[in-house]
Amino acid sequence: GQSLEQPSEVTAVEGAIVQINCTYQTSGFYGLSWYQQHDGGAPTFLSYNGLDGLEETGRFSSFLSRSDSYGYLLLQELQMKDSASYFCALTSGTGRRALTFGSGTRLQVQP
């Protein structure tokens, strides 16, 4: 089976940097994705790591280390609108499309 662990809550102040960690257990792993979900909304895609290393997309970066079964999402220059839940997700399994999500990290950005 597969499992992912991430912190349930993180609090940070506007303008700061925050890192949300994700550790996982799996076989047949193909990639790690990150999704953002605002209250009452649908999850939206943020980033994907298919290889070890850092991927940068604007204020967001994501990192993967397969040897450590670990990844993180880094959010810089935090804004109030970044308050949301963030999910890491494993792409694995048949056809590489079976996705397993972590239970989510609720980020609260304070002024």
Partner 1 sequence: EAQVTQNPRYLITVTGKKLTVTCSQNMNHEYMSWYRQDPGLGLRQIYYSMNVEVTDKGDVPEGYKVSRKEKRNFPLILESPSPNQTSLYFCASTAGRDNSPLHFGNGTRLTVT
14: CB partners within 8 A, 6+ apart: 78, 79, 80, 109, 110, 111
Tell me if 24 contacts partner 1 by CB under 8 A: no
Which of 11, 25, 44, 79 contacts partner 1 by CB under 8 A?
44
Q: Which is nearer to partner 1, 43 or 71 (CB)?
A: 43
Closest CA to 22 of 63, 76, 78, 77: 63
Residue 64 tokens, joined: 């993967």
Tell me if 35 contacts partner 1 by CB under 8 A: yes
Least distance (Å) between residue 64 CB and partner 1: 12
- Footprint of partner 1 (CB under 8 A): 8, 30-31, 33, 35, 41-45, 48, 50, 87, 89, 91, 94-104
